[in-house]
Amino acid sequence: MKILYLADVIGRPGRTMVKHHIANIRDEFGIDLVIINAENASHGFGVSVKNAKELFAMGIDMMTGGNHSWDKKDILPLMDTLPILRPLNYPRNSPGSGVGYLSVKEEKLVVINIMGSYTMPMVDNPFTMIVDEVDRLKKEGFKNIFIDFHAEATSEKRALFMMLKGKVSAICGSHTHIGTDDLEINEGTFYVSDVGLTGCRDGVIGMDKKQPMERFLTSISSKFDVPNSCKKILQGVVFELKDGRCLDAFKIKAYDYESVIISQRAFCE
């Protein structure tokens, strides 16, 4: 199975890029499943019911979340029925689930959403939780396991990769909105510290540059905003899985409405 993962789709510019490119990406690369991190999809903070339905209509199969999962309250009652994950290590009585299941070509894929500890809201230990969850899934016979690790610190992401390589199929980092170039496949596990954002590329991590600049100059906080008009980018990864192992993986990019390119291929250890 071939999977496309887009991390941190931000606001209307991000949704516009997904809508413009998704069908062509599916066709060009033979994509079977599309997963996006949608916790910033509605003007940068959370995902609303309206925007979730809009994204599903584009051909998205599953959405993951993070520290902004609860920002749009209208989506909360539907998180138990729609394929929208929130981090597994939020309290158990939180809406929704941190684990989702997809199927294609008679193969099953387990998607796990987990959140780091550093600078994040108070959550359970992501490392002990994910190790236990992976052990449970392996005992139940699941082979293809993909993890969206929504974390600030690259050290947390890298440590999780060291713990789980050879046990899961892919670990992709999200949250920082800044893509990294450390793609690798080791013991059948694909890893990248951060996929990067899909949205505005001429501001600060997808947001209008004015508010972040003022905060750094004055130490006075103001609400971040997503501009409707901006230069845009789409960043994602494509990875191919079989029998629980990653066979190939590469990063794709598109600037505005230009053609999608393969920008980097994973190094195979």
Predicted confidence (pLDDT) per residue in 236-254, tens digit:
999 999 999 999 999 999 9
Read off the pLDDT of each residue in 147-156 and give the average, rounded to a whole number.
97
Q: Residue 48 and residue 40: Cα distance in Å, rounded? A: 10
Q: Which residue has the tokens 């925007």?
A: 51
Residue 172, pLDDT score: 98
Torsion of the alpha carbons at 179, 174, 47 and 259, rounded to the nearest 10: 30
Q: Which residue has the higher pLDDT, 122 or 27?
A: 27
Which residues are catalytically annotated?
68
- Angle at Cα 106 formed by Cα 19 and Cα 149, nearest 5°? 55
Question: What would the mean pLDDT of 226-245 be, rounded to a whole number?
Answer: 96
Q: How many whole angstroms separate alpha carbon 208 and alpha carbon 45?
A: 14
pLDDT at residue 168, rounded to an integer: 98
Q: What is the rounded average pLDDT of the residues 253-267?
A: 96
> Quick one: pLDDT band at residue 221, thresholds 50, 70, 90?
confident
- pLDDT value at 197 more than 90: yes
What pLDDT, on a 0 to 100 scale, did the predictor assign at position 100?
A: 98
Give the model's pLDDT for residue 42: 97
Q: What is the pLDDT at residue 135?
A: 97
| Alpha-carbon span 124 to 117, nearest angstrom | 8
Per the CB < 8 A criterion, the answer to whether 203 and 209 are in contact is yes
Token readout for 70 is 């609860």
Domains of the chain: 2-268 (3.60.21.10)
| Mean pLDDT of the region 150-171 | 97
Are the C-beta atoms of 103 and 123 separated by less than 8 Å? Answer: no
Amino acid at 18: V
pTM recorded for the entire structure: 0.96
Residue 223: the pLDDT is 86
Query: Mean pLDDT across the chain, nearest whole number?
Result: 96
Mean pLDDT of 111-130: 95
Q: Each residue of 41-70: pLDDT tens digit?
A: 999 999 999 999 999 999 999 999 999 999
Q: Give the C-alpha distances (Å, rounded to integers) separating 227 from 97, 166, 199, 203, 206.
A: 31, 42, 10, 9, 9
Q: How far is CA 18 from CA 26, 71, 154, 211, in A?
A: 11, 21, 26, 26
Distance from C-alpha of 176 to C-alpha of 197, rounded to nearest angstrom: 8
Identify the band that residue 83 occupies on the pLDDT scale cut at 50, 70 and 90. Answer: very high
Does 112 score more than 90 pLDDT?
A: yes
Residues 6+ apart with CB under 8 A from 162: none
* Mean pLDDT within 113-119: 95
* pLDDT tops 90 at residue 228: no
Q: What is the reported pLDDT for 269?
A: 82
Q: Concatenated DSSP letters for 86-109?
A: --TTS-TTSSS-SEEEEEETTEEE
